[in-house]
Amino acid sequence: MGVAGKAKVEGARRPQAGPAARDVVDWIRDRIRVGRFVPGQRLVEADITRETGAARSRVREALQRLETEGLVAIEEFRGASVKQFSFDEVRQIYRARMALEGLAAGEFAAHGTAEQKARLAGIQQELDQWEASGDHDRFAGLNTAWHQLIIEGSGNDYIRQFLARLSVPVYRLLFTTFYSVARIRNANADHRKITAAIVEGRVEEAERAMRDHVNQGLQALSELNSNLYR
């Protein structure tokens, strides 16, 4: 067999590259975010390789990246697992969110486009409609869209990147708090205040009200008995 023929056969035998490490990172992160992978659960490389089709080396690289993000713990002889957070760590996350989301709200009020502000007002109308509906999951989903639009409207990509990482560990807890009618009512009262401040361009009020809103979320979480805390 000639060199060209041999190379062709070897190329045919070479396995497909499969998903990149960043794709595996996104796959694992999303499952942590929605509760498919729970705190303390082991993340077995062979299982992830089988489910994603990624090479074992890329799965290992993805887990190492997630360790640097604080979402995964890797221990010698035990391997990787979803990190468990203490309440003090959750408190620190919320303190960081207060600063960043407050800044995002102020930046949105100052520099957001008319189209973005109209979209925010539209989401607020939906939140008002669903507040008393009893559909907690729908309200929580709209709440996520409301926060994401404010972050987008800030026009600051660094805020977006940092908050994307901060929201993953507490995402499921955010949904849990909305199973209280009183919590929904109080949260949406904050939403209305913040939305009005942003739409009307009241920068300082928008930032202050958002900081207070995130802090109220922390207070709601402190009352929960969650397995995210240790």
CA distance 168 to 157: 17
The single residue listed with the structure tokens 């600051």 is: 156
DSSP, residue by residue, 77-131: TTEEEEPP--HHHHHHHHHHHHHHHHHHHHHHHHH--HHHHHHHHHHHHHHHHHT
Task: Give residue 227's pLDDT.
Answer: 44
Q: Dump pLDDT digits (tens) for 5-50.
A: 444 434 444 445 688 998 999 899 888 877 788 888 999 999 999 9
The single residue listed with the structure tokens 């607020």 is: 124
CATH fold of 3-82, please? Arc Repressor Mutant, subunit A (1.10.10)
Task: Give residue 38's pLDDT.
Answer: 84
DSSP, residue by residue, 23-47: HHHHHHHHHHHTTSS-TT-EE-HHH
CA distance 57 to 66: 14
* Mean of pLDDT values over 117-138: 89
The domain defined by 87-222 carries CATH number 1.20.120.530: yes
Can you give the residue ranges of every domain in the chain? 3-82, 87-222
Contact 40, 75 (CB under 8 A): no
